[in-house]
Amino acid sequence: MRRIILKNFQLPGDIVMLTAAVRDVKRALGGTVHIGVGTPCPHRLGKQSPTSHSLHGFIQHLAQQLGIAFQPTLFKGDIHLSSEEKAWISQVQEITKEPVPFWLVAAGGKFDYTTKWWPQERYQAVVDHFRGDCS
Q: Are 33 and 4 in contact (CB under 8 A)?
A: yes
Q: What is the DSSP letter of 7?
A: E
pTM of the model: 0.50
Residue range 12-55, pLDDT digits in tens:
888 888 889 999 999 999 889 888 888 886 554 433 334 467 78
For the chain, give the percent of residues with pLDDT over 90.
23
How many other C-beta atoms are found inside a 10 Å radius of the C-beta of residue 71?
Answer: 11
Q: Cβ neighbours of residue 8 under 8 Å, at least 6 residues apart?
A: 14, 15, 18, 37, 38, 39
Q: C-alpha angle with apex 83: 77 to 88, nearest 5 degrees?
A: 95
Q: Residues in the chain, how many?
A: 135
**C-alpha span between 125 and 63 (Å, rounded):** 38
For the chain, how long is the longest CA-to-CA vector?
52
Q: Distance between CA 19 and CA 37 in Å, rounded?
A: 9
> Which residue, 30, 124, 123, 37, is CA-closest to 80?
37
